[in-house]
A = this chain, B = another copy of it.
Amino acid sequence: MEFSKRQIEIINAATDLIGEKGLKNLTTKNLAAKIGFSEPALYRHFKSKTAIIQAVLMFYKQQMKVGIEALHKSNNSGAEKIQKLMEFQFKHFAEKPAVVMVIFSETSFQHEETLSEIVLSLLNQKKQSIENIIQLGQKDQSIRPDFNSSQLADIIMGSMRFTILRWRLNNFDFNLIKEGNALCKTIGAILK
């Protein structure tokens, strides 16, 4: 998936709009206004609004993949990698709250087959990376081996998502990084 400059501009504007007031705020009118040109111009770069949302998700998926791959290359133990991954994610969200909204908009796409599929693949990609790290950690003995890696991945991803959801519902007004670190430590203790 390659995007032109203008397309990336549109993707960022769309992300911001969702970030500000949720998916409902992403209208062709608002989007055009945000970028500073007229509505029909959007259609020179994307064939439909759905294609734009699709691009937003793909863009985010790509970003996440790059971040996780970088983590994988480090020389840390499995347990340490999990810590780093959690830190990375919390930091990412704290810096770009708009992305948080996009993630949670996931659940509003059920009526759009193509979007649902991307969301599922996004989630699976992330879960798979975490499972891989856990299995690695179970081999290098930094993570206790008696837990199922898939379930541990559910627990890790779930607790992160939930913390982020709480943050969002509280209008982003507690320190996510701090709460994230605390969660991180508890998860670390559980994995030992």
Q: Taking beta carbons and an 8 Å cutoff, which residues of A are in contact with B?
A: 21-25, 101, 104-111, 116, 119-120, 123, 146-148, 151-152, 154-155, 157-163, 165-166, 168-170, 182-183, 186-187, 189-190
Contact = CB atoms under 8 A, between A and B. Distances in A.
Copies in the complex: 2
Nearest to A152: B186
Contacts of A168: 107, 110
Contact of A159 (B101, B106, B158, B166): B158
| 7 closest Cβ pairs, A-B complex | A158-B162, A158-B158, A158-B159, A104-B107, A22-B110, A155-B159, A120-B169
A47 to B, nearest CB: 21
Given A110-B101, A162-B158, A169 B22 contact: no
B163 A111 contact: no
Contacts of A160: 158
A190 B156 CA distance: 13
B111 A24 contact: yes
A172 to B, nearest CB: 11
Contact of A107 (B107, B170, B186): B107
A146 B192 CA distance: 14
A160 B183 CA distance: 16
Contacts of A109: 22
